[in-house]
């Protein structure tokens, strides 16, 4: 059976390739498409907070930016000679571009759109060159062949290290699981050194943001006598953030990041002390292990900085030492360069687990992984929008290879699309664009991805589902979630609710976090109420078409209220519809696993690509939803 369909697929690929080349060579095919963004910008409604319970956040720069929005949009919309398939990945872009650049409720959006303008123009320029040498021409352009994101980067050349200021390019950012290993020994007079992870600077004159500043001071500083590690961030707009020190001045203030302590106790037994104690049998020396600092002058240290889900984790000589939670707008995918400088004699620097995409010519099952264009699949029952960020190539591949292989998806009953913002790195954007063209399942967002903007993606999913598909149900999930599509379909069928439905792991009567130190802090201004209306957790929820459509209408009018937690936002929107008379039904399902995986899951969250493949194999082999514990 599989062999037979293989032949068919080969033929299909051939036909598709022919079609694609035909499209490109036939300028009429492009010209007949309407110019995507020719609407009248100044006539577009301004941001309206519907009932005053969402006071717009006043950004002093809004005034200026609003005035330039017109030119900004025209830059994002400048008509290009894009093929039909290429245009498809911009479907949501067209529908969202006005809304996003007017999102006053998310002050960052304007900056993110501005950055996207630069990124987009650069990308399109590079593809104007590349167009002359498209795949159907026989060979890819030289630049694309050479300029792939590297999986690892190793430097061991002593002469590169000689001046005490070493830089390692990380051209495609970092993702969860990436790491930077630095091997060297503190030397010099003070033995103080820094490891900085730098983002990309927008212009050549500007200093890039410091996404992580890791400063080791062997002899302390003004605040601390003994050796200390100071971690921080820096941006041009906000300068240095609050310092985090290890050992901390406030011992009670030891929060956890990814289940790891911010400062691990740096106590290590001194083997020679134990040995000495054994000889002299003096007990007290063993009872009180000396505080040991892992970096010491003249001693080799192997320091590994690893990217977790919530923050950076440093371990030295194999032991966890410190953790540092990601800060707003300073996410690891934005890392562009590592800089190591100061009194450290470097032996080698290694970046590994870096994000890299698979070459499509090496993908043997391309036909199975490609998505059919949606206009053909107008009759979909369920549309699934997956949140993803540009350099998470691996996660998207693992979704394509696993739950996108459900018969329901392959047959077109269910459609899946990734919603991905642009990246600041040109290399990443080029690979993303190639990926979009190869697999046909990416919807590009007209902004650079920042965590704070994710609600815009939720709005985009509803917009796309309502405008482009005919789906009865619309689901939102993440690229590290495994969705049992067949189970979702049968559950939706058995609930027998086709209107006003919010399905998922529902949280009733949840209260906003009012701790200003928390990552999830919500100010009175953002949400004045005591509690939120019922909402469904982000890793996997479903709304019926009428809800998605109502969201889409508000996007079109520019009246959709923004709230930074996207899943709560969906709850708020649904609640508003309820207040306006919609008959809303909440259906809660505990099988939506938001914290990981448990047997019998419908959705399992926090699954790494390898675990996704393992879950899929288990389902195929045993037909049971069991987990892959390590």
Ligand X SMILES: *[C@@H]1O[C@H](CO)[C@@H](O)[C@H](O)[C@H]1NC(C)=O
- Residues touching ligand X, count (CB under 6 A): 21
Q: CB atoms < 10 A from the CB of 274, how many?
A: 13
Shortest spacing between CB 160 and ligand X, in angstroms? 5
Among 1, 28, 42, 189, binds ligand X (CB under 6 A): 42
Non-local CB neighbours of 184 within 8 Å, separated by 6+ positions:
161, 300, 301, 340, 344, 345, 346, 347, 348
Shortest spacing between CB 612 and ligand X, in angstroms? 28
CA atoms within 13 A on the CB side of 301: 24
Rounded to 5 degrees, φ, ψ at 333 are -70, -10
Residue whose CB is less far from ligand X, 49 or 273: 273
Residue 203 is a binding residue for ligand X (CB under 6 A)? no
Among the residue ranges 152-160, 426-434, 450-458, 508-516, the one whose residues contact ligand X (CB under 6 A): 152-160
Residue whose CB is less far from ligand X, 133 or 230: 133
Angle between helix axes 454-468 and 566-579 (nearest 10 degrees) is: 60
Shortest spacing between CB 272 and ligand X, in angstroms? 4
Residue 153 is a binding residue for ligand X (CB under 6 A)? no
CB 301 within 8 A of CB 183: yes
Among the residue ranges 114-122, 493-501, 577-585, 617-625, the one whose residues contact ligand X (CB under 6 A): 493-501
From the list 401, 465, 407, 437, the residue with the least C-alpha distance to 609 is 401
Residue 167 is a binding residue for ligand X (CB under 6 A)? no
Residue 587: exposed, middle, or buried by beta-carbon count in 10 A (0-12, 13-18, 19+)?
middle
Residue 132 is a binding residue for ligand X (CB under 6 A)? yes
CB 72 within 8 A of CB 44: no
Shortest spacing between CB 285 and ligand X, in angstroms? 9
Residue whose CB is less far from ligand X, 25 or 53: 25
Binding mask 253-272 for ligand X (x = CB under 6 A): -----------------x-x
Among the residue ranges 82-90, 165-173, 490-498, 530-538, the one whose residues contact ligand X (CB under 6 A): 490-498
Among the residue ranges 4-12, 492-500, 569-577, 594-602, the one whose residues contact ligand X (CB under 6 A): 492-500
CB 415 within 8 A of CB 469: yes
Among the residue ranges 36-44, 110-118, 204-212, 523-531, the one whose residues contact ligand X (CB under 6 A): 36-44
In sequence order, what E strands does 413-483 have? 414-422, 442-448, 473-478, 482-483
Write out the binding residues for ligand X, residues 94-113 only, by CB under 6 A: 95
Distance separating alpha carbons of residues 550 and 574, to the nearest angstrom: 9
Residue 470 is a binding residue for ligand X (CB under 6 A)? no
Residue 160 is a binding residue for ligand X (CB under 6 A)? yes
DSSP state of 35: P
CA 383 to each of CA 1, 221, 369, 469, 487: distance values in angstroms, whole numbers, following the listed order: 28, 56, 17, 8, 15
Residue 157 is a binding residue for ligand X (CB under 6 A)? yes
DSSP state of 117: H
Among the residue ranges 153-161, 371-379, 533-541, 594-602, the one whose residues contact ligand X (CB under 6 A): 153-161
CB 567 within 8 A of CB 506: no
Residue whose CB is less far from ligand X, 95 or 584: 95
Binding mask 292-331 for ligand X (x = CB under 6 A): x---------------------------------------
DSSP state of 446: E
Distance separating alpha carbons of residues 417 and 401, to the nearest angstrom: 14
CA 432 to each of CA 378, 460, 517, 576: distance values in angstroms, whole numbers, following the listed order: 25, 18, 35, 36
Among the residue ranges 110-118, 130-138, 191-199, 317-325, the one whose residues contact ligand X (CB under 6 A): 130-138
Residue 617 is a binding residue for ligand X (CB under 6 A)? no
From the list 505, 506, 522, 503, the residue with the least C-alpha distance to 514 is 522
Shortest spacing between CB 27 and ligand X, in angstroms? 5
Shortest spacing between CB 46 and ligand X, in angstroms? 12
**Residues of this chain that bind ligand X (CB under 6 A):** 27, 40, 42-43, 80-81, 95, 132-133, 137, 157, 159-160, 270, 272-273, 292, 467, 493, 496, 498
């Amino acid at each position: 059976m599989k062999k037979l369909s293989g032949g068919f697929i080969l033929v299909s690929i051939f036909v598709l390739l022919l079609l694609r080349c035909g499209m490109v060579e036939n300028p009429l095919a492009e010209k007949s498409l309407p110019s995507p963004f020719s609407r009248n910008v100044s006539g577009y409604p301004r941001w309206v907070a519907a009932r005053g319970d969402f006071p717009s956040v006043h950004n002093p720069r809004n005034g200026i930016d609003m005035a330039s929005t017109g030119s900004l949009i025209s830059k994002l919309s400048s008509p290009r000679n894009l093929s039909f398939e290429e245009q498809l990945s911009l479907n949501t872009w067209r529908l969202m571009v006005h809304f996003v650049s007017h999102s006053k409720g998310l002050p960052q959006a304007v900056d993110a759109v501005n950055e996207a303008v630069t990124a987009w123009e650069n990308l399109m320029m590079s593809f104007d060159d590349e167009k002359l040498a498209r795949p159907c021409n026989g060979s890819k352009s030289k630049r694309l062949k050479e300029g792939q994101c590297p999986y690892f980067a190793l430097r061991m050349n002593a002469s590169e290290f000689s001046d005490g200021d070493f830089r390692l390019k990380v051209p495609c950012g970092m993702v969860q699981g990436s790491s930077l290993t630095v091997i060297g020994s503190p030397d010099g007079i003070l033995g103080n050194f820094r490891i900085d992870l730098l983002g990309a600077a927008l212009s050549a004159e500007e200093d890039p943001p410091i996404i992580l500043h890791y400063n080791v001071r062997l002899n302390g500083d003004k605040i601390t006598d003994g050796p200390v590690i100071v971690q921080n961030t820096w941006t041009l707009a906000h300068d240095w953030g609050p310092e985090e020190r290890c050992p901390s001045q406030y011992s009670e203030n030891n929060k956890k990041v990814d289940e790891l302590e911010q400062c691990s106790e740096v106590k290590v037994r001194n083997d020679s002390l134990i040995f000495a104690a054994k000889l002299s049998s003096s007990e007290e020396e063993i009872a009180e292990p000396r505080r040991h600092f892992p970096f010491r002058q003249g001693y080799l240290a192997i320091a590994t900085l690893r990217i977790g889900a919530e923050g950076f984790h440093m371990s030295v000589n194999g032991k966890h030492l410190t953790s540092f939670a990601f800060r707003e707008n300073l996410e690891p995918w934005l890392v562009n360069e590592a800089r190591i400088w100061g009194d450290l004699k470097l032996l080698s620097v290694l970046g590994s687990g870096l994000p890299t995409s698979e070459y499509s010519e090496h993908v043997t099952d391309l036909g199975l992984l490609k998505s059919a264009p949606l206009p053909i699949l107008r009759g979909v029952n369920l549309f699934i929008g997956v949140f993803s960020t540009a350099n998470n190539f691996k996660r998207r591949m693992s979704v394509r290879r696993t739950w996108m292989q459900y018969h329901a998806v392959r047959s077109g009953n269910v459609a899946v699309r990734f919603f991905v913002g642009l990246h600041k790195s040109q290399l990443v954007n080029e690979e993303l664009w190639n990926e979009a063209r190869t697999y046909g399942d990416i919807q590009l967002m007209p902004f650079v991805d920042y965590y704070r903007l994710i609600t815009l993606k939720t709005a985009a999913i509803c917009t796309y589902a309502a405008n482009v598909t005919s789906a009865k149900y619309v689901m939102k999930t993440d690229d590290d979630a495994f969705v049992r599509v067949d189970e979702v379909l049968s559950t939706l069928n058995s609930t027998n609710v086709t209107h006003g439905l919010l399905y998922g792991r529902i949280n009733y009567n949840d209260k906003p976090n009012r701790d200003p130190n928390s990552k999830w802090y919500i100010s009175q201004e953002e949400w004045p109420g005591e509690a939120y209306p019922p909402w469904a957790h982000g890793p996997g929820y479903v709304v019926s078409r009428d809800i998605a459509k109502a969201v889409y209408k508000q996007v079109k009018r520019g009246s959709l209220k923004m709230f930074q937690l996207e899943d709560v936002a969906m709850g708020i929107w649904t609640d508003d519809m309820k207040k306006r008379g919609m008959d809303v039904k909440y259906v809660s399902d505990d099988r939506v696993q938001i914290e990981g995986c448990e047997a019998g899951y419908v959705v399992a969250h926090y699954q790494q690509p390898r675990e996704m493949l393992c879950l899929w194999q288990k389902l195929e082999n045993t037909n049971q939803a069991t987990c892959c514990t390590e």
